C-alpha cells in the first residue's frame, strides 16, 4: 500500500478544516446528523464506519449497536445488503429523527 503525504493547505484552511471536524464530532453526540452522511438505506457496519472515521477512533461493535438502537433514531427497511458473508439488515433514519435534526438547524 502506498502512503501519500498530505499536501499542506493554503492560508488558514487547515484551521478551518479542524474546526469543521470538531463541530461534526460534537454534533454526532447529540443529533442524528448521520442521515446526511449516508445513503438512505445502510447497514449498522456502514454507520459505525462513518462514526469511526469522523471520531478518528475505533468503537466497540456491541456497544455501538446497543447505543445507536436504543437512541430510537433508526428503523429497519426490511431489506438486506447482499455481499460476501452473511446478509446484513438495512436501516434508515426514522422520519422523526430527520425532522428533529432539520428543526434543530432552523432554530439553533
Predicted TM-score (pTM) of the model is: 0.74
pLDDT tens digits along 76-85 = 999 998 878 8
pLDDT tens digits along 35-88 = 778 899 999 999 999 989 888 899 999 999 999 899 888 999 999 988 788 899
Instruction: At 79, list the grid cell.
Output: 431489506
Helices (H), the chain: 13-30, 44-55, 61-70, 95-106
According to CATH, what is the number of the domain 31-106? Answer: 1.10.10.10
Residue whose cell numbers read 459505525: 48
Q: What pLDDT is stored for residue 42 in this prediction?
A: 94
SS3 helix, strand, coil % of the chain, rounded to 5?
A: 50, 15, 35
Amino acid at each position: 500500500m502506498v502512503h501519500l503525504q498530505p499536501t499542506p493547505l493554503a492560508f488558514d484552511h487547515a484551521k478551518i478544516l479542524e474546526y469543521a471536524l470538531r463541530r461534526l464530532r460534537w454534533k454526532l453526540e447529540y443529533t442524528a446528523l448521520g442521515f446526511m452522511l449516508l445513503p438512505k438505506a445502510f447497514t449498522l457496519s456502514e454507520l459505525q464506519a462513518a462514526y469511526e472515521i469522523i471520531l478518528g477512533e475505533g468503537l466497540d461493535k456491541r456497544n455501538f449497536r446497543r447505543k445507536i438502537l436504543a437512541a430510537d433514531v433508526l428503523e429497519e427497511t426490511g431489506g438486506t445488503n447482499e455481499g460476501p458473508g452473511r446478509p446484513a439488515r438495512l436501516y434508515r433514519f426514522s422520519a422523526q429523527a430527520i425532522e428533529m435534526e432539520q428543526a434543530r438547524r432552523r432554530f439553533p
